[in-house]
């Protein structure tokens, strides 16, 4: 092992990955901690575990296998005891024609290979693995498979109240940690007749994951109910709750929804970003002129700002970012939400509870007696709430809220649907913002866009732009995208727009005037972001298709 380590060190130095100064620092750390020198290199962030694994593979002449490239069958864990896998740092990633390909931390360890062969009872083909990936794989595989091996006579509720070492508890912990690690916004646990589906929503897309078998479903639901303080005995009606868990160094808030289906209780968990990750308004990704308009609007002493978009379009993040920028000791900010998603210090947050009559409208009436400067209303759902909100905006309060409409101009018609007079809309409304989230191109593997059917759809002024297209690499899990970016449009209620609203102008007339004053549509903002390679043209074009479908449907709705 000593010679192998020295060869790895020499290889890293020869490849320019390691300096003599770094080596001395790592040596001192390993002596002080009593650990291995190679481990110290990774712990001190001198090199990555991936780079170290590639160097080892170069020395031992075994291939390096990136585990993120493969759909690994967790059922292989049944053939190798967990104690052996953890001690030998090995896991069978797949078996083909009686030969098991085993990812190992040290493929030159012949004794380890012999022990793995004895347990698997087949030939072993060792490959070099990344230590961090291998450790995570072993933890996840054994936690999820062991959950199915519980004694069928033991109550799942009993397991849910124990120390955290039981299989069901470990399975739930691994699912939550996996979702947080993947950057998922939602975790879905969906029972079918004979199968339990586990899916993560990452960058807006539902991605299937390997999870525990159906036999573990009831115990996992009971465990989650305990964590969210729900009624364990109630399985026939929907329940909602929340809890918090720690992932690495940060707390993650979870909003849990459980609903009965014909195959068992369906679970969806929303993983909420911590308030510490909220940035500035400039970090939202709005165009520079729109960013300046929005910053100006939130500094107004009174008025109404509305954000619109479908569920999951980032409305809450936009509003909370605005609140975060205004949250000072000399400002009284109060919110009414259903539910409270992000907790912010100094802000008084109220959660709607319709069971006791605490609705948006009743809560808004009450908090207006609490001398607020700024009010965040989670959503305007009905005429009563809309009227109180507009009155608050007209009487010295800054009101921020959301509506469900297709675009920014649609907010005006939606307020008219609530039978608000046009003079009240003009007096209260400062601006409306429509937004969507599109997938962000992975900067590591993006390639030039070559699809002529896409490039010919861009505006003339962007025809020479260097658009990018998704490719796929380990950094983005082979999707070509990593993260999401917002696209926006803003309707500023200027004197000119106020005149059109007062006169009952059509949507087309308001849109024409707004464009003359600098408004850029969602589609146009998407294309401009694609020209900067923040997203792909395919993502931007999907926005245009959405609004073309909406426009085609509108005449039919009016006729109906």
pLDDT tens figures, 337-352: 988 888 888 999 999 8
The answer to whether the peptide bond before residue 220 is cis (omega within 30 degrees of 0) is no
- Which tens digits make up the pLDDT trace of 461-496? 888 889 999 998 878 878 899 999 999 999 999 999
Query: What value does the mean pLDDT take over residues 369-385?
Result: 93
479 or 560: whose pLDDT is higher?
Answer: 479
> Given this model, what pLDDT does residue 546 score?
64
Of the pLDDT bands very low, low, confident and very high (cuts 50, 70, 90), residue 274 is low
Query: What value does the mean pLDDT take over residues 119-141?
Result: 89
Of the pLDDT bands very low, low, confident and very high (cuts 50, 70, 90), residue 163 is very low
Q: What percent of the chain has pLDDT over 90?
A: 51
Q: Describe the strand order of the beta sheet including 99-104 as a list of residue ranges.
A: 90-96, 99-104, 123-128
**Cα separation of 369 and 224, whole Å?**
38
> Given this model, what pLDDT does residue 543 score?
83
Query: What value does the mean pLDDT take over residues 269-275?
Result: 80
Of the pLDDT bands very low, low, confident and very high (cuts 50, 70, 90), residue 18 is confident
**Cα separation of 528 and 519, whole Å?**
14
- Which tens digits make up the pLDDT trace of 498-515? 999 999 999 999 999 999
Q: What percent of the chain has pLDDT over 70?
A: 92
Q: Most distant CA pair in the chain: distance in Å? A: 86
> Given this model, what pLDDT does residue 556 score?
42
> Given this model, what pLDDT does residue 157 score?
38
Please give the mean pLDDT across all residues of the chain: 87
Q: Does 552 have pLDDT greater than 60?
A: no
> Given this model, what pLDDT does residue 161 score?
36
Of the pLDDT bands very low, low, confident and very high (cuts 50, 70, 90), residue 553 is very low
> Given this model, what pLDDT does residue 211 score?
84
**Cα separation of 25 and 40, whole Å?**
9
Of the pLDDT bands very low, low, confident and very high (cuts 50, 70, 90), residue 536 is very high
Q: Does 34 have pLDDT greater than 90?
A: no
> Given this model, what pLDDT does residue 519 score?
93
CA torsion angle 189 185 75 87 (round to 10): -130
- Pair 430, 300: CB distance under 8 Å: yes
Q: Does 410 have pLDDT greater than 60?
A: yes
Q: Does 149 have pLDDT greater than 60?
A: no
- Pair 230, 258: CB distance under 8 Å: yes
Residues in the chain: 560
Strands of 5-122 (E only): list them.
90-96, 99-104
- The predicted model scores a pTM of 0.73
- Which tens digits make up the pLDDT trace of 61-112? 889 988 877 778 788 888 888 889 999 999 999 888 889 999 998 888 888 9
Q: Does 276 have pLDDT greater than 80?
A: no
Query: What value does the mean pLDDT take over residues 247-265?
Result: 90
> Given this model, what pLDDT does residue 377 score?
94
DSSP 217: H
> Given this model, what pLDDT does residue 557 score?
41
> Given this model, what pLDDT does residue 154 score?
39
- On the CB side of 502, CA atoms within 13 Å amount to 11
Element (H, E) at 400: strand 398-403
């Amino acid at each position: 092992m000593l010679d192998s380590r020295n060869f790895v060190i020499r290889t890293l130095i020869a490849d320019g990955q390691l300096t003599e100064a770094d080596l001395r620092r790592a040596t001192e750390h390993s002596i002080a901690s009593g650990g291995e020198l190679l481990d110290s290199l990774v712990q001190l962030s001198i090199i990555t575990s991936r780079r170290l694994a590639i160097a080892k593979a170069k020395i031992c002449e075994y291939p390096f296998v990136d585990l993120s490239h493969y759909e690994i069958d967790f059922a292989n864990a049944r053939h190798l005891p967990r104690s052996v896998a953890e001690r030998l740092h090995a896991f069978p990633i797949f078996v083909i024609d009686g030969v098991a390909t085993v990812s190992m931390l040290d493929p030159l360890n012949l004794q380890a290979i012999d022990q793995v062969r004895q347990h698997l009872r087949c030939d072993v083909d060792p490959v070099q693995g990344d230590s961090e990936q291998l450790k995570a794989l072993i933890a996840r595989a054994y936690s999820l498979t062991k959950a199915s091996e519980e004694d069928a006579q033991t109550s799942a509720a009993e397991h849910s109240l124990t120390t955290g070492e039981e299989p069901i508890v470990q399975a739930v912990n691994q699912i939550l940690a996996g979702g947080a690690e993947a950057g998922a916004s939602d975790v879905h646990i969906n029972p079918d007749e004979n199968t339990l589906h586990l899916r993560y929503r990452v960058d807006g897309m539902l991605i299937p994951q390997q999870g525990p078998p159906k036999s573990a479903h009831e115990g996992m639901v009971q465990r989650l109910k305990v964590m969210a303080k729900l009624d364990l005995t109630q399985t026939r009606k929907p329940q909602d709750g929340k809890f918090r868990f720690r992932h690495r160094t940060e707390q993650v808030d979870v909003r849990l929804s459980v609903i009965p289906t014909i195959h068992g209780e369906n679970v969806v968990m929303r993983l909420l970003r911590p308030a510490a990750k909220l940035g500035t308004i400039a970090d939202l990704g709005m165009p520079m002129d729109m960013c300046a308009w929005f910053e100006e609007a939130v500094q107004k002493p009174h008025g109404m700002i509305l954000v619109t978009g479908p569920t999951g379009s980032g409305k809450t993040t936009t509003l909370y970012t605005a609140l975060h920028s205004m949250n000072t000791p000399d400002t009284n900010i109060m919110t009414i939400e259903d539910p409270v998603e992000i907790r912010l210090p100094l802000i008084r947050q109220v959660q709607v509870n319709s069971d006791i009559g605490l609705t948006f409208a009743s809560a808004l009436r009450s908090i207006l007696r609490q001398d607020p400067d700024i009010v965040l209303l989670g959503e305007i759902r009905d005429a009563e709430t809309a009227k109180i909100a507009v009155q608050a905006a007209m009487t010295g309060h800054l009101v921020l809220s959301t509506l469900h409409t297709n675009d920014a101009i649609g907010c005006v018609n939606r307020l008219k649907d609530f039978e608000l007079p046009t003079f009240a809309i003009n007096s209260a409304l400062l601006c409306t913002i429509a937004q969507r989230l599109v997938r962000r191109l992975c900067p590591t593997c993006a390639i030039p866009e070559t699809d002529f059917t896409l490039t010919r759809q861009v505006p003339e002024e962007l025809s020479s732009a260097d658009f990018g297209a998704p490719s796929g690499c380990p950094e983005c899990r082979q999707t070509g995208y990593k993260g999401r970016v917002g696209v926006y449009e803003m309707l500023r209620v200027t004197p000119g727009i106020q005149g059109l609203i007062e006169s009952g102008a059509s949507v087309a007339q308001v849109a024409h005037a707004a464009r003359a004053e600098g408004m850029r549509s969602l589609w146009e903002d998407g294309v401009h972001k694609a020209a900067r390679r923040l997203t792909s043209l395919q993502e931007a074009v999907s926005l245009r298709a959405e609004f073309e479908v909406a426009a085609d449907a509108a005449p039919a709705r009016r006729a109906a």
